[in-house]
Structure 1
Amino acid sequence: MTSTITRRMVGAVVATGLAATGVLAMSGTANAEVGTGNIAAASSVSAQSTQNFGLSTTEAKAIQAKVLKKYGYTSKKYPGKIDGKLGTNSWKAFQVYLKKSYGYTGTIDGDPGKNTIKALQRLLRHQVGAKLTIDGVAGAKTKAAFKKYATKFSKP
């Protein structure tokens, strides 16, 4: 009994891990057989190409249209659509803005990593008075402040 449970648990972990890395599937169900147990791990894996940090589509569209467009988004430099998905080109344009005014020192790579988040936190402290620790972690307070910042641009 214990070995069957162990095989099933290991199988589930392996199937989930393989599905998450795209080896088995990009979406749908990933299956793996281990011993006599047939293990199926449900997976809804898709590329995490957007990072809205809690913004709704409408709020993200407002940021793209009113802030990022000015810094190259929708242009030849960082071609993108105003679609409410803060993807690589949106973040590249945001990094240009953050570099210009909020101390971003990283490369313009479109990855909203720790350095990008630190600069975003400085922007949020300045623009909406958010009392944030500049730690590079997009936690609940950072997300709430980002939402507050976005609402400045999403109102008609």
Structure 2
Amino acid sequence: MRSNILARTLISATAVVGIAAGSLAGAATSFAASETVAKPVVSAEAVTPAAVNNLGLSAAQAKNVQRWLKTYWGYTGSIDGQLGTNSWKAFQRCLKANWGYTGSIDGVPGTNTIKALQRLLKHSWGYTGAIDGIAGAGTKAAFKRFANAV
């Protein structure tokens, strides 16, 4: 009987050690998995220096604007139908010279650029909205009329 109790104790102790070892192994694996360093995903937008903003123009209409900018406002980029930084810098030179743009020539069509564009569009291209710096439907429609005519 004594050997029977000793055998059960030995089996129980072995089972406890096995369970503990398995738990530690599982814990080590889970800790190892949590140590994986997540790498941030880089999007094309994060790499691109400036986005294209055609303000609703088609590529053909934007090409018309780029040709006009090349002829009159020092645009030196390609005629690709994408109003990017260089297109907007040239447009800002026009807006600064004639339409009350007071910001920097940075190629970003922000609120001040849109306000000056709205003044130009109100003068000759049928824009009837507020000079608010928001390129809404009325601004975009007038900009399309401008792009089709230049």
Q: More helix by proportion, 1 or 2?
A: 2
* Paired-residue identity, %: 55
Larger Rg: 2
Whether contact under 8 Å (2:69, 2:87) holds in the other structure is: no
Give the whole-Å Cα distance in 2 for the aligned partners of 1:63 and 1:146.
10
- Matched with 1:132 is 129
Whether contact under 8 Å (1:68, 1:94) holds in the other structure is: no
Q: What's the CA shift for 1:45?
A: 8.1
Distance 1:122 1:103, change over 3 A: same
Under a length normalisation based on structure 2, what TM-score does the superposition of the two structures give?
A: 0.68
Structure 2 residue runs of 5 or longer lacking an equivalent are 1-39
- Matched with 2:4 is none
Q: What's the CA shift for 1:25?
A: 3.4
Instruction: Find out whether 1:25 has 2:27 as its counterpart.
Output: no
Give the whole-Å Cα distance in 2 for the aligned partners of 1:26 and 1:61.
27
Give the whole-Å Cα distance in 1 for the aligned partners of 2:80 and 2:42.
26
Distance 1:45 1:111, change over 3 A: closer
Q: More strand by proportion, 1 or 2?
A: 1
Structure 1 residue runs of 5 or longer lacking an equivalent are 1-22, 28-43, 75-79
Distance 1:136 1:68, change over 3 A: farther
Count matched residues: 110
| RMSD, aligned α-carbons | 1.8
- Please list, as runs of the form range in 1=range in 2, the aligned pairs for 1:67-78 lying within 5 A after superposition: 67-74=69-76
- Matched with 1:56 is 58
- Matched with 2:91 is 94
Task: Provide runs of 4+ in structure 1 moved above 4 Å.
Answer: 44-48
